[in-house]
Structure 1
C-alpha cells in the first residue's frame, strides 16, 4: 500500500476490456490504440446502477468511504470493488466486460501487494507502480468531473441557450360554466314576471306652459317699444326667470311672432343658421 505521486513515471499500462492499452500519460510515451470496437448492434453495454465504467465505480466507492484520493489504500479499494462485483453476480446481474476485467486485475494487484514475488523480469512494473497508476487515474477522473461541474455552473445564455426572438402571444381561452339547474331558471323567471305584474301608479306632474295666446298678448303690448332690432330674450327677459318656463316662453313667443309678421305688425331677422332671431316693430312705408 503506497501513496500515489502527482505524476508517476514509468507506470505500467492498466489492462482494459479488450486487453490492450489505450492511454497516453504525462511521461510523454504513447501507448498502442485499442482495436476498433464492434458496432452498437454487435456489443452489449450495460449500465450498472448508474455507473459508466470501472473507474467510475471505483471513484464512487472511494467517495462513499470519504477517502482522500492522494492517500488512497489500493488494498481496501480493491476489496470493496471485488465485493461489489460479487454481490452483483450473486443477484444474477449481467456485468459489462470492463467490470469483470477490472475485478480480475484488482485481484491480481492485491495478491502482488500482499505476497511480494521475486524480482521481476526487465520491463515488468512493480505492484507499487501499478497501484500508484490506478490512484493517478482516479485523481484525474475526479478532476475532470469537478471541472465539468464548474463548466455546467457557468452562464450558458447567449452560447448554447438563447432568448426567443419575438415573444409568444398569450392566448386566453375563457369557458363559462353555469351551475344553475332548470328549477333555478324557472324561479328567476317567475320572480321577474311577478315584479312586472305589480301595478304602479304614475302621476303626471303638470308642467308650467306659456300658451300662444299669452305670448301674442305680451308681444302686442310690447310692440310700441320695439323700434330697433332685439332678440326675444331681450324683450321677454322677465318671463324667462324660471328654468321650467323658459323653453315654453321661447317656443310660444316665436309662434306668436310669426302670426304678427304675417299680419304686418312685426319684422323678424336671422343673420345665419342657428344664430339669434331679432324682432322689431314694422315701420310704415314712406
Structure 2
C-alpha cells in the first residue's frame, strides 16, 4: 500500500515538473487534483481519503456478490436463453444447464430456502439432458419420439407471454404512481340539480291532482231568483192570444220544479184577483183557463 502511495506521489511530482513555469495556475491546479484522485483510496463526505485508518475493520461478509433478481426458475431460464440468443425451440441443454447450475450455486451459498425451488428446476434440466444423451432404440427410430424439451419449451413460451402481458399492463398509467387525481371542492349550492322527470311521471302527477280535486269538491246551492209577477204577466199575454188554454199547457216542465211551482202560484194569484177563469165541464174532464169575462 505504501509503495502505491509513493508511486502516486512520484507521478504527481513528475507531472508538476512537466508543467512549464510560465503555464497558467489553472493547469497546475488541475494536475494536482487529478493526482489526488489517483492517490485517494476512497471518498469520505466528499473529501478524498489518502491514508487508510489504522483501526479500520472490514467484516468477512461485507463484500457480497449481488446477482440479478429473477421471479423464479423459469424467469432465470428465459433470461439465459435470450442473453445467449439460443433458439427456444432448439435449446442446447448442455450449455443452458451449465450456466443455470452456476447461478444456483451462488444463491445456494446465501439463501438455501430460495435455492430449493431453483434446485428442482436444475434436476429437471439434468433429466432432460440425460434423456437426450441416451441412445434411441430401433423401435423409437421408426416412430417419431417426443422431444424431451417439449414440455419445458411450452412452459417457457407461456411464461414469456404472461411476462410480456404483465409488462404492458405495468406500462399503463397508474393512479398514485404516474399521476395523481385532482380534487376540487365546489359548494353544492352553486350547482343546480335538476330532477329527472319523464312524461309518465307528469301524467301520474296530474291524475293524482284530479283525484284529490274530486274528493274535496263541494256542492254549491244557489238561490234562483223567480218572480211571481213576471209569471202572472206571461200567463195573461198567452191567454190574450187564445180563447181557451188547457191547464197543463200553461206550465213549462223543462224549467224544473221551481219554475213549475212559481208558475202555479202565479196562476192562483190571477184566479184570486178574478183576472182569469178556471172551468171544467164535468168530473175528470180537461181543465181550461181563459181570461175573465168583462162586459163591454
Q: How would you bin the TM-score normalised by the shorter chain?
A: 0.3 to 0.5
Greater length-normalized contact order (CA 8 Å, ≥ 6 residues apart): 1
TM-score by length of 1: 0.33
TM-score by length of 2: 0.32
- Say which structure is richer in helix: 2
